[in-house]
Amino acid sequence: MHVKFIISALSVLLSGTTALSESNLTTHVDVLTLDHAFNPVKAAYWTGYPHHRRTPFAVSPNGKSAYIAYLDSTETDVHVQQLDPTTFKATGTSVTITGGQEAGGLVAHNDGFAVLVNEAMPSGTTNAPPDNTPVAVIYRYTNGNETWKTWLGGPNVHAADGLSASPDMNGDLVYSLKSETYGAYFVVTDYSGDASGHYGDSIQYVNTSGDVVDIDGASSSWGCSHNTGIAFKETVKAPFASICAEDQGAIWLNTKTQGMTNDGVKISNENTTNGASGEPMGGMSGSYSALDRFYNSTRFIFAWVSRGAIDVTENTWMGDGYTNVKNRTNGRNVAIALFSDKYTLVGDQATSTVGEEDGDSQVNWITDGSNDCSNAHVAVFDGESALVTWEEISDPTCDFIAMGCRGEFAGSFFQEVNSKGVKVGEAVKSTDVYVAGDMVTMGDGRICWPYVSMEWDLSQAVGYGSSTDTYKKMSIACMAV
CATH number (domain holding residue 200): 2.130.10.10
Specify if 57 maps to a domain: yes
Specify if 367 maps to a domain: yes
* Per-residue model confidence (pLDDT) at position 13: 41
Specify if 1 maps to a domain: no
Strand partners, 59: 66
As for how many domains the chain has, the answer is 1
* Per-residue model confidence (pLDDT) at position 1: 54
* Per-residue model confidence (pLDDT) at position 444: 96
User: Is 175 within 8 Å of 207 (Cβ atoms)?
Assistant: no
* Per-residue model confidence (pLDDT) at position 276: 96
CA pair distance 66, 82, nearest whole angstrom: 6
Specify if 4 maps to a domain: no
* Per-residue model confidence (pLDDT) at position 17: 54
| Owning domain of residue 355 | 9-479
* Per-residue model confidence (pLDDT) at position 465: 72
Weakly modelled stretches of the chain, pLDDT under 70? 1-17
CB atoms within 10 A of CB 306: 27
CA pair distance 324, 272, nearest whole angstrom: 8
* Per-residue model confidence (pLDDT) at position 14: 41
User: Is 432 within 8 Å of 411 (Cβ atoms)?
Assistant: no
User: Is 32 within 8 Å of 440 (Cβ atoms)?
Assistant: no
CA pair distance 295, 297, nearest whole angstrom: 5
Specify if 351 maps to a domain: yes
Catalogue the long-range contacts made by 359-363 (C-beta closer than 8 Å, 24 or more residues apart). 359/269, 359/308, 359/309, 359/310, 359/311, 359/312, 359/323, 359/325, 360/268, 360/269, 360/306, 360/308, 360/309, 360/310, 360/328, 363/268, 363/306, 363/308, 363/335, 363/337
Specify if 2 maps to a domain: no
CA pair distance 53, 55, nearest whole angstrom: 6
User: Is 440 within 8 Å of 1 (Cβ atoms)?
Assistant: yes
Instruction: Tell me how far CA of residue 327 lies from CA of 259, 270, 401, in angstroms.
Output: 24, 8, 9
Specify if 315 maps to a domain: yes
